[in-house]
Amino acid sequence: MDDVHVMGVDACPTGWVGVILGAGGVGGADAAVRLTELLERAPDATVIGIDMPLGLLETGRRRADAMAAEWIAPHRSRVFPVPPRPVWDQPDYQAANLRCREVTGAGLSRQTWGLAAKLRQANACREGGDRRLHEVHPEVSFAAMNGGRPVAASKKSWNGQAARRRLLADHGIVLPEELGAAGRVPPDDILDAAAAAWSARRIALRTAARLPDPPETTATGLPVAIWY
């Protein structure tokens, strides 16, 4: 394996979880309440893949989400369409849902609004200067590992978790039985963080692809794309 040091990050019920990859494979896992804390504890990671939308458009829907949904068809519902920035600027779900209808013509699910606090954390980190952060989507990453075929079984199921763990192992990411404090995180979040680390390693090695390519950009010029 090439000598790279990267981390994959996923949101979890207690905050955030990260899986670290080094030259020898999985270098460990970590968990923190706040994303800034997790990132500060990984100063050697040159690339960080994160399963959270990075880059909000001022109007319209992101092409990245539509393309990712097509990539994992027929499981399109695994990708949340990300509304534009004015929706996320609202103080609560009711206001956000109303604003979403005004600017997109469609409402906002409570599940998508549930991302608000962590989406703001992640975007604040990148907009604040941490350019190591790259958006990934684990289901897109797993499909890429699987020759372009999405994993049929849900990541919450036994079969789905076993299939995803096998794919990771086939690509040199063997998750240990013991992960310390991070091992208290739900298994699907660990698997998603590991898939994010797989994509981060590809970004570091310049073998990754992105949706779309070239990416859209935010009002401040930051790229809006999902890497895998």
Q: For 108-132, b where at least 16 C-beta lie within 10 A, e where not — what string?
A: beeebbebbebbebbbebbeeeeeb
123 found inside a domain: no
In a domain, 98, yes or no: no
200 falls within a domain: yes
Q: How does residue 2 score in pLDDT terms, banded at 50, 70 and 90? A: low
**pLDDT score recorded for residue 90:** 97
Residue 74 lies in a domain: no
Residue 3: pLDDT band (50, 70, 90) is confident
Output the pLDDT for position 1. Answer: 47
CA-to-CA dists, residue 10 to 60, 160, 188, 195, angstroms: 26, 18, 10, 9
pLDDT tens digits, one per residue of 12-27:
999 999 999 998 899 9
Q: Which of 112, 118, 171 is nearest to 143 (CA)?
A: 171
Q: Work out how many domains the chain is built from and give that number.
A: 1
Evaluate whether 25 touches 173 at the Cβ level (below 8 Å): yes
Residue 13 inside a domain? The answer is: yes
29 located within any domain: yes
Band (152; pLDDT cuts 50, 70, 90): very high
User: Among 189, 177, 180, 182, which Cα is nearest to 138's?
Assistant: 189
pLDDT tens-digit series, residues 108-128: 999 999 999 999 999 999 999
Question: Distances from the Cα of 87 to the Cαs of 98, 106, 137, 209, in angstroms?
Answer: 9, 12, 21, 29
Find the domain containing 43 and state its range.
6-54+128-211
Q: What is the CATH number of the domain that holds 139?
A: 3.30.420
In this prediction, residue 121 carries a pLDDT of 97
In this predicted structure, which of 16-20, 63-67, 147-151, 178-182 has the lowest mean pLDDT?
178-182
Q: Is the pLDDT of residue 85 over 60?
A: yes
